[in-house]
């Protein structure tokens, strides 16, 4: 028996989801990133997302242009919406969007910085954090590893992030040695 997918179709709920994702990541997201994140398993219809972005712009979201790309960040009202209304979204959709946001954000952060490794985390409403680590193969420029971890709080997430960033080549070598065939 196939499990039915939960979709968010109400424009107001999509506005809350967008604010929630930006708040949880603690950083702005581009329109393309939001499209990619919310299209996972068709959780949000593209046209409804576009309508929600238009509706939320100026009131819940600040809109800026960064190097020709439209980027959204929360206004104080958007932060309040994320905190007060984020729990009203279906948990399964919220969790899937968190994981997808970490994956997309780590990938894009790495490309922008020209690095072979990126580490990012998001804080969940229960205080736990989802940490994403993306490592590219330096020779082929293709993804070699994507790790996702859940940790109990932001202090642990910061510790993991800082430890990996202290010596990223050592961490990559550790993984390569561990998974050697």
Full-model pTM: 0.68
Domain region containing 12: 7-103
Indicate the Cα dihedral angle 87, 15, 28, 161, nearest 10°: 20
Residue 150 gets the label, from left (phi > 0), alpha (psi -120 to 50) or beta, of: beta
pLDDT tens sequence for the chain (181 residues): 455 567 888 999 999 999 988 887 777 889 999 999 988 878 899 999 999 999 999 999 999 988 788 999 999 999 999 888 888 888 778 878 877 887 787 777 666 666 678 787 777 768 888 888 888 877 777 778 888 889 999 899 889 988 998 888 899 889 989 988 6
Classify residue 110: in a domain, yes or no.
no
Q: Are both 30 and 85 inside the same structural domain?
A: yes
* Intra-chain end-to-end CA distance of the chain, in Å: 37
Could you say which of 73, 103, 133 is where a domain stops? 103
Q: Are both 84 and 126 inside the same structural domain?
A: no
Q: Are both 126 and 97 inside the same structural domain?
A: no
Give the pLDDT confidence score for residue 51 in this predicted structure. Answer: 96
Classify residue 108: in a domain, yes or no.
no
Alpha helices in 64-148 (DSSP H): 76-85, 91-113
Alpha helices in the chain (DSSP H): 11-25, 31-38, 46-56, 76-85, 91-113, 154-166, 168-178
| DSSP state string for 79-101 | HHHHHHHGGGS-HHHHHHHHHHH
The total number of structural domains in the chain stands at 2
Classify residue 165: in a domain, yes or no.
yes
Q: Are both 50 and 96 inside the same structural domain?
A: yes
Could you say which of 72, 103, 134 is where a domain stops? 103
Q: Are both 127 and 62 inside the same structural domain?
A: no
């Amino acid at each position: 028996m196939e499990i039915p997918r939960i979709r968010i179709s109400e424009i107001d709920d999509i506005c809350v989801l967008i604010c929630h994702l930006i708040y949880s990541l603690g950083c702005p997201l581009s329109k393309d990133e939001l499209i990619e994140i919310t299209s996972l398993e068709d959780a949000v219809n593209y046209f409804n997302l576009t309508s929600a972005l238009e509706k939320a712009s100026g009131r819940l979201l600040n809109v800026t242009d960064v190097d020709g790309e439209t980027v959204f960040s929360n206004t104080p009202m958007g932060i309040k919406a994320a905190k007060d209304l984020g729990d009203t979204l279906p948990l399964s959709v919220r969790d899937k969007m968190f994981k997808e946001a970490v994956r997309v954000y780590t990938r894009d952060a790495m490309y922008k910085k020209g690095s072979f490794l990126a580490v990012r985390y998001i804080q969940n409403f229960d205080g736990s954090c989802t940490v994403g680590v993306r490592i590219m193969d330096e020779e082929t420029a293709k993804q070699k590893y994507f790790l996702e971890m859940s940790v109990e709080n932001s202090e642990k997430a910061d510790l993991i992030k800082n430890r990996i960033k202290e010596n990223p080549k050592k961490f990559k070598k550790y993984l390569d040695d561990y998974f050697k065939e």
